């Protein structure tokens, strides 16, 4: 079993401070074929930019390099895009699900509340990061509801893959935002998506974290301190993580 860490969206912001990051997508070999956790931008996004791409490109200094599209990286790793049988989404912002159309055969696993938020009327600023065309190809969706199960002490939903994987609801950044836990050969990988600041570091003021990323930061820090054998990753990581 291998987990590949893909950077599918580089940002080089210089204000308020130097902020070189990449959006982390996981490509996981499982008994059910390749599972991709989040997709980054899609190939179409590089050709036809929507307002949200242009805003991000200007503010976050995004190089918009089409070689970062997950489908291209999958190919460079020696697989075919069709080998990606499943996609698990932390949430449906454009920088996390823009690549869905590049994998039209994949089943898309997402929390029901997230899909409803994606389809619904925007209720807050971060809802503007949903781009409807990302599901215009009509992907096969597997929608999840809370089940009362848990992973460690966190409410979680078991995903149908081996090795064991869990969807861990962490709503706040978006209404149906989830983390994804993956059993590895040495312990666990817990990808918390955009529920915590980059690399769980504490450079960002707490009020801003709460406003933009939701209420889980503190709990996730405590979780990490209590479970040193669990590798915690975030939806955006410092560029040197990918080196």
Summarize as ranges the residues that interact with Zn ion (CB under 5 A).
Answer: 93, 194
Q: Which residue is nearest to Zn ion (CB)?
A: 93
Instruction: Decide whether 93 or 111 has the Cβ nearer to Zn ion.
Output: 93
* Nearer residue to Zn ion within complex by CB, 93 or 216: 93
What sign has the CA pseudo-torsion 208, 94, 190, 199? negative
Q: Which is nearer to Zn ion, 81 or 235 (CB)?
A: 235
Q: Which is nearer to Zn ion, 127 or 164 (CB)?
A: 127
Which residues, listed in sequence order, are joined to residue 4 by a DSSP beta bridge? 27
Contact 142, 109 (CB under 8 A): yes
Q: What is the CB-side half-sphere exposure of residue 190 using CA atoms within 13 A? A: 22
Closest CA to 134 of 157, 169, 170, 110: 110
Sheet holding 157-159, edge to edge: 157-159, 165-169, 178-183, 188-191, 230-233
* Residue with smaller CB distance to Zn ion, 104 or 122: 122
The distance of closest approach from Cβ of residue 163 to Zn ion in the complex, given in angstroms and rounded to an integer, is 26
Nearest to 180 by CA among 111, 77, 95, 105: 111
Q: What is the nearest approach in angstroms of Zn ion to the Cβ of residue 183?
A: 25
Shortest distance, position 178 Cβ to Zn ion, whole Å: 12
Q: How far is the CB of 125 from Zn ion (least distance, A)?
A: 11
CB of 68 to Zn ion, least distance (A): 17
């Amino acid at each position: 079993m291998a987990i590949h860490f893909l950077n599918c969206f580089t940002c080089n912001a210089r204000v308020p401070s130097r902020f070189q990051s990449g959006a982390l997508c996981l490509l996981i070999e499982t008994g059910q074929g390749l599972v991709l956790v989040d997709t980054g931008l899609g190939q179409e996004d590089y050709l036809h930019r929507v307002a949200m791409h242009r805003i991000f490109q200007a503010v976050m200094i995004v190089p918009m390099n089409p070689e970062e599209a997950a489908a291209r990286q999958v190919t460079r790793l020696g697989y075919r895009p069709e080998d990606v049988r499943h996609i698990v989404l932390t949430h449906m912002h454009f920088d996390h699900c823009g690549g869905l159309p590049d994998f039209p055969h994949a089943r898309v696993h997402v929390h029901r509340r997230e899909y409803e938020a994606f389809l619904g009327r925007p209720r807050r600023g971060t809802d503007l990061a949903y781009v409807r065309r990302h599901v215009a190809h009509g992907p096969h969706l597997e929608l999840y509801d809370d089940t009362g199960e848990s992973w460690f002490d966190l409410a979680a939903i078991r995903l149908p893959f081996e090795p064991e994987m869990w969807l861990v609801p962490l709503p706040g950044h978006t209404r149906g935002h989830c983390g994804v836990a993956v059993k590895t050969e040495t312990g666990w990988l817990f990808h918390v998506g955009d529920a915590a600041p980059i690399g769980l570091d504490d450079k960002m003021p707490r009020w801003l974290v709460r406003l933009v990323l939701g209420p889980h930061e503190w709990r996730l820090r405590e979780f990490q301190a209590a479970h040193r054998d669990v590798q915690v990753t975030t939806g955006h990581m410092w560029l040197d993580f990918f080196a």
